[in-house]
Amino acid sequence: MQYSWPPPAAVETRDSLGPLVAPERAATPRSDLVGRAARAGAAGGLVASAIAGVPYYLAVRDQATLPWLQIAPLFVAFVIATGALYGAGAAYGMRAIGAALRPRGHAGRALVSIGGATMGAAFVGALPGSLGLAYFGSLPYPFVGTATLAMAPIVGTSITSWSLAAAGGSRGRAALAVLGTAALFCAIGALGVGTLDDATVVAAFRDATASAGHEDSPLGLGLVGLVVGALLGVVLGCQIGATVVLARGHGTDG
């Protein structure tokens, strides 16, 4: 057995999303990237379900008799699954689009990361959007509220964003990036809430289902939900991609 001195220098490795990291901050395996995002998305979904569900319960518990023991577990499970799906879709989109395009330079990788996350989340978002609106939207109970629909997903997605941005990198920088993107998207959401009240949103849903030829029916709501879920995926995927880019200075290398 031969020995050499000095020992060979440690070889730098690339983590799952791009930047060079020290050996002790080992790379997240590519095969685990989507799984990590799904787990973080599920945690974000749990938070989002609490943000949406608890105020809703406190607001309407005296106005309507609802089967809380039936609806609440279904709602929490649905939002958790939706969060996992959005997170996994965004992560897969970043990786797949990056591998396909092989962008060069920080700017190129940043654009591909944001675009890939946005497209991935939008693609998978159509399914939960359709199922969720078809089921929950057809129940004869008070509307959950525009503010909840705007803010809860953004707050929940911040958890997914942080998990991906911190993978193999600086957790502090990831936290700052999350604060920045969450503040931006919450401000955009607040602007929407200020211009669209609950009555306007409910009327828009009814008009959309009527245009689809299935007014106030689960089928019509499901068709509208395809679009709503995809649009929500655009917003949440963009938030995830932007957070990763801000935390790392660029995006994936594919």
15 φψ region: left (φ > 0), alpha (ψ -120 to 50), beta (else)? beta
Q: Mean of the pLDDT values across residues 192-212?
A: 78
pLDDT at 213: 62
Q: What is the 3-state secondary structure (H, E, C) of 129-180?
A: HHHHHHHHCCCCCCCCCHHHHHHHHHHHHHHHHHHHHHCCCCHHHHHHHHHH
pLDDT at 214: 61
> Average per-residue pLDDT in the chain?
82
Query: Cα–Cα distance between 143 and 137 in angstroms, integer?
Result: 8
Model confidence pLDDT, tens digit, residues 151-184: 899 999 999 999 999 886 788 899 999 999 999 9
Q: How far is CA 86 from CA 43, 45, 117, 154, 184, in A?
A: 12, 10, 9, 12, 19
Q: Mean of the pLDDT values across residues 118-126?
A: 96
Q: Mean of the pLDDT values across residues 111-120?
A: 95
Which of 19-23, 43-47, 98-102, 213-217 is predicted with the least confidence, judged by mean pLDDT? 19-23
Q: Give yes or no for a contact between 247 and 12, defined as CB atoms under 8 angstroms apart.
A: no
In this model, does residue 236 exceed pLDDT 70? yes
In this model, does residue 253 exceed pLDDT 50? no
DSSP labels for 70-109?
HHHHHHHHHHHHHHHHHHHHHHHHHHHHHHHH---HHHHH
pLDDT at 139: 83
Q: How far is CA 178 from CA 56, 132, 184, in A?
A: 26, 27, 10
pLDDT at 140: 81
Question: Hey, what's the torsion of the CAs at 226, 227, 231, 236, to 10 degrees?
Answer: -10
Q: Mean of the pLDDT values across residues 94-99?
A: 90
- Higher-pLDDT residue of 233 and 15 is 233
Nearest to 160 by CA among 89, 110, 87: 87
- Higher-pLDDT residue of 158 and 218 is 158
Confidence grade of residue 212 (pLDDT, cut at 50, 70, 90): low
Q: Give yes or no for a contact between 12 and 69, defined as CB atoms under 8 angstroms apart.
A: no
pTM for the structure as a whole: 0.81
Query: Cα–Cα distance between 53 and 48 in angstroms, integer?
Result: 8
- Which one of 92-96, 142-146, 206-210, 224-228 scores highest in mean pLDDT? 92-96
pLDDT at 162: 93
pLDDT at 250: 58
**Percent of all residues in the chain with a pLDDT value above 70, rounded to a whole number:** 83
Give the list of residues 6+ apart from residue 22 with CB closer than 8 angstroms, or none: 10, 12
Question: Hey, what's the torsion of the CAs at 204, 208, 213, 219, to 10 degrees?
Answer: -100
pLDDT at 23: 38
- For the chain, give every domain's residue range: 30-248
Query: Cα–Cα distance between 202 and 196 in angstroms, integer?
Result: 10
**Percent of all residues in the chain with a pLDDT value above 90, rounded to a whole number:** 45
- Higher-pLDDT residue of 103 and 75 is 75
Query: Cα–Cα distance between 232 and 230 in angstroms, integer?
Result: 5
Nearest to 246 by CA among 157, 156, 153, 170: 170
Neighbours of 10 (CB within 10 A): 9
